[in-house]
Chain A
Amino acid sequence: MKRWTTKREHQIYSSKLFQALCRSRRTSSSTSAKELHQTADRVLAITAKGTTRWSRAILAAPLTAGTNMKKHKKAKVTVHTRLRKPVVNREKRKLPVVERKLRALRRLVPGCRKLSCNNLLEETSDYIAALEMQVRALTAITEFLSRGLL
């Protein structure tokens, strides 16, 4: 987590991103925001040097389109449960609250769908630090490009 905060890493990432941007610009004339997003994520994963799960997941499956997400078909049967006594309901629903949140977190962090709580939290902290660096780098490049025109 500490490696994402150094200036050196930031420079490395920014320069690699810029080079990737140039390359993609040269190959294809039309660049969508999604492509750029994917490129940025991939360069971020490369900068992670394969030590984390999310970076490996990003690099392993980059060619899928964004709409490939499986929608979980766990329909909640709310009508029937309301016929029962509410106390029992609340008790049963309170227990997996943390589990539900962990599930949501698993969906957010790439490549962590079946990770235990412990490892998931570790991956999350690294992922958050990496995302912050990505935001910083993207702002820097955007500003550079817009300032360079004036």
Chain B
Amino acid sequence: MADFSAQSYRQPFPFLDIDPTMESLTQFAELNPQSFILDNSAFNFQTFFPLSINDSLFSNQASQGETMSGFIHNSNQSSVSAQPIFSAKTEMEEISNKRKALDISESSSGNSSSTSPQVSETGIKRRNNSGRGKRAKSNEKEMEKPKEVVHVRARRGQATDSHSLAERVRRGKINERLRCLQDIVPGCYKTMGMALMLDEIINYVQSLQNQVEFLSMKLTAASTYYDFNSESDAMERMLREKAEEAKELERLMREGYVGIGGVACFHSSSTYGPL
């Protein structure tokens, strides 16, 4: 029981390491020793807590009532009648403090843009990643802490209006997709620009479509001799075996594509019997 009470006591108050609340809490514990024992769930504890506090603390001491009602407000999002008079630090408070510090530094540098959090976060990432910009170090300190709305700061030598920022974000997204495609499409170097990459992609898609067409013709030819009415489960087993073989074949085809052309290589490496 004592353990449980200590645990549940700890749950809604994650910020208990701060001194002013500790005193008030211990005093409160003395006032209502039974409240902890009676509850069986954290939720009940939380809902029970404000009622008892509102009754007891506001009647007792005003200053402590402030602290209590404050952190009830923070811990209970829904049915709290207490007013946020509280000024002790919570998690959100810490973040807002950091935000204020950031704002001050931002305003001192003369940044004008305050875009959406999505843009800001990607802006931060990019600034953290790339080595350009002479203020990279000072930027990183401020960017790492907050995870909510952050102002984007443009790097040295770059435009600060919202259009260029949005364009930068857009370009970043496109580059990311191009990188994915680079992994898939064979024969793409990292140094290739957009135009060359697109050339390769188009060639590859065309060759794949040709392959599919060629294979479908081959399949129709092969299936004319097959008796489809006598279907059995042997097909499943066979397909599984063939899958492994086909994978190797596909690997050969991929290598062949880089040199000559997929269809031609496929033709030469096929080891089928007569159809």
Contact = CB atoms under 8 A, between A and B. Distances in A.
Interface stretch (B70-78, B91-99, B215-223): B215-223
Given A25-B228, A33-B217, A142 B205 contact: no
B240 to A, nearest CB: 7
A80 interface: no
A78 interface: no
Contact of B239 (A31, A32, A102, A144): A144
Interface in A82-138: 97-98, 101-102, 104-105, 108-109, 117-118, 121-122, 124-125, 127-129, 131-132, 134-138
B245 A135 contact: no
Contacts of A142: 215, 218-219, 222, 272
Contacts of A128: 181, 184-185, 201, 204-205, 208
Contact of B216 (A7, A40, A147): A40
B198 A136 contact: no
B235 interface: yes
Interface string A1-24: 100000100110011001001100
Given A33-B213, A98-B195, A132-B250, A143 B219 contact: no
Contacts of A132: 208, 250
Contacts of A101: 195, 198-199, 202
Interface of A: 1, 7, 10-11, 14-15, 18, 21-22, 25-26, 31-34, 36-37, 40-41, 97-98, 101-102, 104-105, 108-109, 117-118, 121-122, 124-125, 127-129, 131-132, 134-150
Given A98-B194, A144-B239, A36 B216 contact: yes
25 contacts: A11-B240, A18-B235, A22-B228, A34-B216, A37-B212, A41-B212, A101-B198, A101-B199, A105-B202, A117-B174, A118-B173, A121-B180, A121-B181, A124-B201, A124-B205, A128-B181, A128-B205, A128-B208, A135-B212, A138-B216, A139-B215, A141-B242, A145-B223, A146-B272, A146-B273
Nearest to B185: A128
A131 B205 contact: yes
Contacts of A127: 205
Contact of A138 (B170, B215, B231): B215
A121 B177 contact: yes
A135 B208 contact: yes
A97 B194 CA distance: 10
Nearest to B247: A136
A131 B209 contact: yes
Contacts of A104: 202
Contacts of A148: 226, 238
A105 B250 CA distance: 23
Contacts of B37: none
A135 B250 contact: yes
B215 A108 contact: no
A15 B229 CA distance: 16
B211 interface: yes
Contacts of B177: 118, 121-122, 125
